[in-house]
Structure 1
Amino acid sequence: MPGSDARLSRRHMATALSTSRIGLIQALIAFLIWGLMPVYFKLLQSVGALEVVAHRIIWSVPLLLVILYFRKNLGGLRTALANRKMRWTMLVSSGLIAFNWLIYVWAVHQDHILASSLGYFISPLLSVLLGRVFLGEKLTRNKWIAIALAAVGVSVLAVQALDTLWISLTLAISWSCYGLIRKIADIGPVVGLTAETGILFLPFVLLLIWLTFAMPSSATSVHLGEDHIIDLLLIGGAFVTAAPLLLFAAAVKKMPFSTIGLLNYLAPTIQFLVGVLVYKEALTVSLIICFVLIWISLAIYSTDSFLAGKTERKIHPV
Structure 2
Amino acid sequence: MNDIANNPSAGSRLGLVQALLACLFWGVMPIYFKLLEDVAAIEVVAHRVIWTVPLLLVILYFRKNITGLLSSWADKKIRWTLLASSLLIAANWLIYVWAVQEDHILAASLGYFISPLLSVFLGRIFLKETLSRNQWVAVGIAALGVSVLAVEAWQTLWISLALAASWSGYALVRKVADVGPIVGLTIETSVLLPFFGLFLLWVSFGSGYSADTVHLGDSLPIDILLLGGAVVTAAPLMLFASAVKKMTLSAIGLLNYLAPTLQFLIGVMIYREPLTISHIICFGLIWISLAIFSADSIRKERTRRTELAI
1:115-162 per-position Cα deviation (integer Å, ceiling 9, x unaligned): 000000000000000000011111000000000000000111111111
> Secondary structure, in 3 states, of the residue corresponding to 2:217?
coil
Does structure 1 conserve the Cα–Cα contact (< 8 Å) formed by 2:4 and 2:10?
A: no
Residue of structure 2 equivalent to 1:259? 251
**1:317 CA displacement:** 2.1
1:142 to 134, 142, 147: 134
> What letter is aligned with 1:34?
W
**1:15 CA displacement:** 1.3
> Secondary structure, in 3 states, of the residue corresponding to 1:224?
coil
Q: Distance in 2 between matches of 1:216 and 1:34?
A: 30
Residue of structure 1 equivalent to 2:280? 288
The TM-score, its normalising length taken from structure 2, stands at 0.97
Q: Unmatched 5+ residue regions in structure 1?
A: 1-10
Superposition map of 1:5-20 within 5 A:
15-20=7-12
Which is further off, 25-34 or 14-23? 14-23
1:108 to 77, 100, 106: 100
Q: Distance in 2 between matches of 1:119 and 1:217?
A: 28
**1:94 CA displacement:** 0.3
> What letter is aligned with 2:167?
W
Residue of structure 1 equivalent to 2:44? 52
Residue of structure 1 equivalent to 2:266? 274
**1:12 CA displacement:** 8.8
> What letter is aligned with 2:94?
L
Superposition map of 1:121-132 within 5 A:
121-132=113-124
Residue of structure 2 equivalent to 1:90? 82
> What letter is aligned with 2:98?
W
Q: Unmatched 5+ residue regions in structure 2?
A: none
> Secondary structure, in 3 states, of the residue corresponding to 1:50?
helix
**2:144 maps to 1:152:** yes
**2:207 maps to 1:214:** yes
Residue of structure 2 equivalent to 1:226? 218
1:198-249 per-position Cα deviation (integer Å, ceiling 9, x unaligned): 011111100111123313675x401111100000000000000000000001
- Rg bigger for which structure? 1
> What letter is aligned with 2:10?
S
Q: Distance in 2 between matches of 1:215 and 1:245?
A: 36
Which is further off, 198-207 or 83-92? 83-92
> What letter is aligned with 1:229?
P
May I ask how many residue pairs the two structures share in their alignment?
Answer: 307
The alignment-based identity, stated in percent, is 64
2:14 to 22, 25, 36: 22
> What letter is aligned with 1:59?
W
Pick closer, same or farther for the CA change 1:108–1:137 going to 2, 3 Å.
same
**2:34 maps to 1:36:** no
Structure 1 runs of 4+ with >2 Å offset: 11-14, 215-218
CA RMSD of aligned residues (A): 1.4
> Secondary structure, in 3 states, of the residue corresponding to 1:254?
coil
Does structure 2 conserve the Cα–Cα contact (< 8 Å) formed by 1:61 and 1:198?
A: yes
1:56-99 per-position Cα deviation (integer Å, ceiling 9, x unaligned): 00000000000000111111111111112211111110010001
1:250-269 per-position Cα deviation (integer Å, ceiling 9, x unaligned): 10111111100110000000
> Secondary structure, in 3 states, of the residue corresponding to 1:283?
coil
Pick closer, same or farther for the CA change 1:157–1:225 going to 2, 3 Å.
same
Does structure 2 conserve the Cα–Cα contact (< 8 Å) formed by 1:217 and 1:223?
A: no
Q: Distance in 2 between matches of 1:20 and 1:36?
A: 24
Q: Distance in 1 between matches of 2:228 and 2:63?
A: 21
2:188 to 191, 196, 210: 196
2:161 to 163, 169, 186: 169
Q: Distance in 2 between matches of 1:69 and 1:27?
A: 24
**2:293 maps to 1:298:** no
Does structure 2 conserve the Cα–Cα contact (< 8 Å) formed by 1:60 and 1:242?
A: yes
Q: Distance in 1 between matches of 2:54 and 2:36?
A: 22
**2:212 maps to 1:239:** no
> What letter is aligned with 1:257?
L
The TM-score, its normalising length taken from structure 1, stands at 0.94
**2:62 maps to 1:78:** no
Q: Distance in 1 between matches of 2:284 and 2:119?
A: 20
Q: Distance in 2 between matches of 1:73 and 1:196?
A: 16
